[in-house]
């Protein structure tokens, strides 16, 4: 007929539904509606194993019945609303279209059955609106910036680790070969030790201590607490090296 708008209504939509009528539409079984309704009988609820080819039919029916029982969906008797808590025989139990739609949008936002939602609504995820999308973008950008920062830190740490590993391997090679450091190397090590001692026991221009140590004895005690027993780590050796280091740095 000229002028007829086929999109002005939804052929699957009804003002109200029995739970199984809503469930079979939810499952996309409208083509089998007559078969299903005839098979389940007057109580209007699929029996366990009755439709093994459509397991979601019973599951979705029970979801709707459970929501009615616990007040998540207002219910009625033959399409007429009743007060919450009013008992209605299962064969006459109904839920209104708008109430069912609201319940599904809230509890099953990923489900957009054709009898409840139009084409635009089915193509648009209810949870991801413009504000939510912008919030997710902001979170993503913040996480990306944080990741980039951590990557740079990791690169720095890796470089320092490789440098220390190289120095360790060099020293280990010297020890393994019983190589005695030359005068220049010995002076370098002693000056380094003295500089570290001065730093740890010194203060900033504002008078703030650089470390928690008040004396060389405290430093030696801390070293022994963590490394006693290692080659060269003894109270006498450390005292001797500290003294030699201070003399070396003063003479340099």
Residue range 126-136, pLDDT digits in tens: 555 556 667 87
Residues 6+ apart with CB under 8 A from 187: 248, 252
C-alpha 97/C-alpha 187 separation (Å) is 90
pLDDT band, very low/low/confident/very high, at 26 (cuts 50, 70, 90): very high
Residues 6+ apart with CB under 8 A from 60: 22, 23, 26, 27
C-alpha 141/C-alpha 150 separation (Å) is 14
Return the SS3 of 107. helix
C-alpha 126/C-alpha 137 separation (Å) is 17
The confidence score (pLDDT) of residue 203 equals 87
C-alpha 32/C-alpha 51 separation (Å) is 11
Average pLDDT over residues 180-202: 84
The confidence score (pLDDT) of residue 22 equals 93
- Output phi, psi for 210, to 5 deg: -80, -25
Q: What angle do CA 106, 108, 112 make, to 5 degrees?
A: 105
Average pLDDT over residues 50-76: 91
The confidence score (pLDDT) of residue 20 equals 93
- pLDDT of 23 > 90? The answer is yes
The confidence score (pLDDT) of residue 91 equals 85
The confidence score (pLDDT) of residue 41 equals 80
What distances in angstroms separate CA 187 from CA 107, 165, 180, one per listed residue?
76, 22, 13
- pLDDT of 201 > 70? The answer is yes
Q: Which residue intervals of the chain are DSSP H helices?
A: 19-26, 33-40, 55-69, 97-107, 119-123, 130-176, 183-201, 216-227, 235-251
Q: What angle do CA 70, 55, 13 make, to 5 degrees?
A: 65
- Mean pLDDT check: name the lowest of 52-56, 126-130, 135-139: 126-130
Average pLDDT over residues 103-130: 77
Average pLDDT over residues 116-141: 73
Which of 21, 189, 170, 177 has its CA nearest to residue 95?
Answer: 21
Q: Under a CB-based contact definition with an 8 Å cutoff, are residues 33 and 24 in contact?
A: yes
C-alpha 207/C-alpha 194 separation (Å) is 20
Q: Which of the two residues, 136 and 238, has the higher pLDDT score? A: 238
Q: Under a CB-based contact definition with an 8 Å cutoff, are residues 10 and 114 in contact?
A: yes
The confidence score (pLDDT) of residue 179 equals 58
The confidence score (pLDDT) of residue 128 equals 59
The confidence score (pLDDT) of residue 174 equals 67
Give just the sign of the alpha carbon dihedral 29, 32, 35, 38: positive
Residues 6+ apart with CB under 8 A from 42: 91
The confidence score (pLDDT) of residue 127 equals 54
Return the SS3 of 64. helix
């Amino acid at each position: 007929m000229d002028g007829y708008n086929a999109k002005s209504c939804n052929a699957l939509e009804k003002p109200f539904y029995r739970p199984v009528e809503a469930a079979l539409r939810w499952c996309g079984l409208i083509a089998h509606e007559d078969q299903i309704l005839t098979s389940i009988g007057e109580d209007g609820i699929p029996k366990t194993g009755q439709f093994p080819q459509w397991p979601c039919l019973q599951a979705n029916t029970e979801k709707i019945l459970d929501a009615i029982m616990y007040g998540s969906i207002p219910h009625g008797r033959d399409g007429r609303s009743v007060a919450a808590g009013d008992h209605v025989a299962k064969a006459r139990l109904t839920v209104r279209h708008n109430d069912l739609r609201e319940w599904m949008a809230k509890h099953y936002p990923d489900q957009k059955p054709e009898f409840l939602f139009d084409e635009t609504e089915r193509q648009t995820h209810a949870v991801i609106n413009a504000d939510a999308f912008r919030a997710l973008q902001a979170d993503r950008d913040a996480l990306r910036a944080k990741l980039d920062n951590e990557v740079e830190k990791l690169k720095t740490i890796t470089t320092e680790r490789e440098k220390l590993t190289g120095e360790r391997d060099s020293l280990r090679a010297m020890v393994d070969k019983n190589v005695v450091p030359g005068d220049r190397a010995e002076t370098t090590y002693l000056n380094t030790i003295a500089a570290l001692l001065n730093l740890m026991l010194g203060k900033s221009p504002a008078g703030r201590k650089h470390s928690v140590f008040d004396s060389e004895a405290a430093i030696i005690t801390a070293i022994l607490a963590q490394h006693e027993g290692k080659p060269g780590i003894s109270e006498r050796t450390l005292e001797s090296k500290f003294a030699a280091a201070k003399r070396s740095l003063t003479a340099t």
